[in-house]
Amino acid sequence: MTLKIPSMHVFFGGLFDPPHMGHLQCVMKVIEAIPEATIIVSPTPRSTEAHKIRDHETHYDHRIAMCNIQFNHLPRVRVDRFESFLPPPHYTFKSLQYLKDTGHEKLGILLGEDQFWNLPRWRHPERIIKLAQIIVLARMSDLEASNQNIIHTLNNGTACSYLEKILLNANPEMGSNPSGLKPPLLLDEDPHRASSSLLRAEFSVNPESELIGAWIVPEVLNYIKQHQLYKDP
């Protein structure tokens, strides 16, 4: 089942260090659920969001190359390096504002469920909420009224109330029912277990492990081996 939404650009950001089957599953779900959407896969040069700061990232050009290998063959998906042209620090709200300022009028942002609940730790979450429709990959068992539909729009559910609280915390004078809030969309999906951090750790101890072969598409894995990435923990 799909949801009829006018043309939308969906921002899918992250380090993608490395990109894995979980990232691919996220993009495929949006393609399935929102046929009119164009998905912008945007590796960040260096994360400064509090929930994902690291001391070192794989070189940006390698991460762009791996994302091109993994995503560019898919319909309505493009890998974009626009964040590398923005002045640091790199925050999600700044990336969304850039897209809005460059003609992407209707924006969405794709989040995992853990990212959604961590939004208050991001820089200016209230601006993210106002700039883009929040699209969350949610576990089926956690949906309030799951009926096997791919997408649920929550106007009065816990997700919408949560976003309202974020807006009100940033602007207490707004009162109840803050303006600018777009009801979030939840996509029913059991999240893939793949984790970039676990993959990096696995590469450092056992680069031929079955886990790596199961979580990384073969073409990306070939690139990693060719360029001898992730040899250090």
- Characterize the bridge pairing of strands 107-112 and 185-188: unpaired
Q: What is the domain count for the chain?
A: 1
> Is residue 97 assigned to a domain?
yes
> Is residue 92 assigned to a domain?
yes
> Is residue 124 assigned to a domain?
yes
Residue span of the structural domain in which 142 resides: 8-194
CATH value at residue 17? 3.40.50.620
Residues forming beta bridges with residue 107, ordered by sequence position:
9
Tell me the C-alpha distance between 3 and 132, whole Å: 17
Backbone region of residue 228 per phi and psi (left: phi > 0; alpha: psi in -120 to 50; beta: other values): left
Tell me what the mean pLDDT of segment 169-186 comes to: 72
Kindly list the strands in the beta sheet with 133-138, ordered across the sheet, starting from the edge strand earlier in the chain: 77-79, 37-43, 8-14, 107-112, 133-138, 185-188, 151-153
pTM score of the predicted model: 0.87
Residues forming beta bridges with residue 13, ordered by sequence position:
42
> Is residue 222 assigned to a domain?
no
> Is residue 202 assigned to a domain?
no
> Is residue 184 assigned to a domain?
yes
pLDDT 10s digits, 70-81: 999 999 999 999
pLDDT 10s digits, 190-229: 778 899 999 999 998 999 999 999 999 999 999 999 999 9
> Is residue 230 assigned to a domain?
no
Which of the pair, 180 or 219, is modelled with greater confidence?
219
pLDDT 10s digits, 119-153: 999 999 999 999 999 999 876 544 444 444 434 44
> Is residue 149 assigned to a domain?
yes
Who's near 174: CB < 8 A, 6+ residues apart? 167, 168
* pLDDT band (50, 70, 90) for residue 1: low
